[in-house]
């Protein structure tokens, strides 16, 4: 389906990567975004073959990042792991490597210090990213994740890093994480051609779990067409990538039903 990508987390409980690709193809969907654990489970060579043989577009590989660590050895380990993630992204011909940058190191309360570690980790990774021709996509996460998952929480913060670091780095705009931001429109416009990915789902009210209760598009309160209009005005006309973590709902349904609903909502809501 033109313009629709499925982040394979959306059907991760139902399918391995092979099964997910088969289900997407059966639904007429030819763009995907796998996770590294899904790739590793079938092997990078097999995953790359699946992509090539089925002429799939890979809108991103999830995920790199997690740069902060309590000591220099831990920070270097994260950089080395991110270099491997870039190699995997290149093998899959992915549009970008999506980065969840990491939160506070264990035992720390120093949020500015964690953000400095993120900056330094990105800087150390950029040369390899440029060599592999895989851009880094910083995904700012909702502030509720500042401690444990991502200390970069707004597009402004992410773009400030992009400004400092230069070519080869941009942002992934995930509506679940940024819909609330009063600066959203201005920062999307600022991002321009540094928008590398656009992730969609919905924010349910009430939200039962902050991690694994994302909603299907149209079931929550996010104005998806308005955000898409902002992103297109900024110059991004790429795929919208459905990324839904849903322990009590969508992960319990058959994959073909989930994908059919994604297609229907993409056509009617997004």
Per-residue pLDDT reduced to its tens digit, 9-43: 999 999 999 999 999 999 999 999 999 999 999 99
Q: Please state the domain extents for the chain.
A: 4-268
pLDDT at residue 179 is higher than 70: yes
Report pLDDT for 2: 86
**Dihedral angle over CA of 204, 239, 170, 47, nearest 10:** 100
User: Cβ neighbours of residue 156 under 8 Å, at least 6 residues apart?
Assistant: 183, 187
pLDDT (tens digit, 9 = 90+) per residue, 57-84? 999 999 999 999 999 999 999 999 999 9
User: How many CA atoms lie less than 13 Å away from 120 in the CB half-sphere?
Assistant: 13
Q: How far apart are CA 165 and CA 121, in angstroms?
A: 11
Task: For residue 241, give both structure tokens.
Answer: 């990538």
Average pLDDT over residues 158-166: 98
CATH superfamily of 4-268: Divalent-metal-dependent TIM barrel enzymes (3.20.20.150)
Sheet holding 136-138, edge to edge: 57-58, 31-33, 4-7, 240-242, 195-200, 169-174, 136-138, 97-100, 61-65
Statement: the pTM of the whole predicted model exceeds 0.75 = yes
pLDDT at residue 123 is higher than 70: yes
Report pLDDT for 220: 98
Report pLDDT for 1: 66
């Amino acid at each position: 389906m033109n313009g629709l990508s499925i982040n394979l987390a959306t059907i991760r409980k139902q399918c391995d990567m092979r099964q997910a690709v088969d289900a997407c193809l059966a639904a007429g969907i030819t763009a995907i975004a796998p996770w590294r654990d899904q790739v590793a489970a079938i092997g990078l060579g097999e995953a790359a073959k699946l992509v090539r043989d089925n002429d799939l577009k890979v809108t991103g590989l999830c995920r790199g990042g997690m740069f902060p660590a309590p000591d220099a050895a831990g920070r270097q380990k994260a950089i080395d792991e991110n270099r491997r993630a870039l190699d995997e992204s290149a093998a899959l011909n992915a549009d970008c490597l999506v980065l969840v940058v990491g939160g506070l190191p264990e035992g720390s309360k120093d949020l500015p210090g964690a953000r400095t570690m993120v900056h330094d980790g990105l800087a150390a990774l950029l040369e390899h990213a440029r060599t592999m021709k895989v851009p880094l996509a910083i995904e700012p996460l909702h502030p509720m994740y500042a401690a444990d998952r991502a200390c970069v929480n707004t597009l402004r913060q992410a773009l400030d890093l992009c400004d400092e670091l230069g070519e080869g780095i941009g942002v992934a705009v995930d509506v679940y994480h940024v819909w609330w931001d009063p600066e959203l429109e201005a920062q999307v416009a600022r991002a321009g051609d540094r928008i590398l990915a656009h992730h969609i789902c919905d924010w349910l009210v009430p939200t039962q779990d902050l991690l694994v209760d994302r909603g299907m598009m149209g079931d929550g309160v996010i104005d998806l067409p308005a955000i898409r209009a902002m992103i297109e005005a900024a110059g991004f006309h790429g795929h919208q990538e459905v990324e839904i973590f849903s322990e009590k709902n969508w992960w319990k349904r058959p994959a073909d039903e989930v994908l059919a609903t994604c297609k229907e909502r993409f056509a009617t809501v997004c």
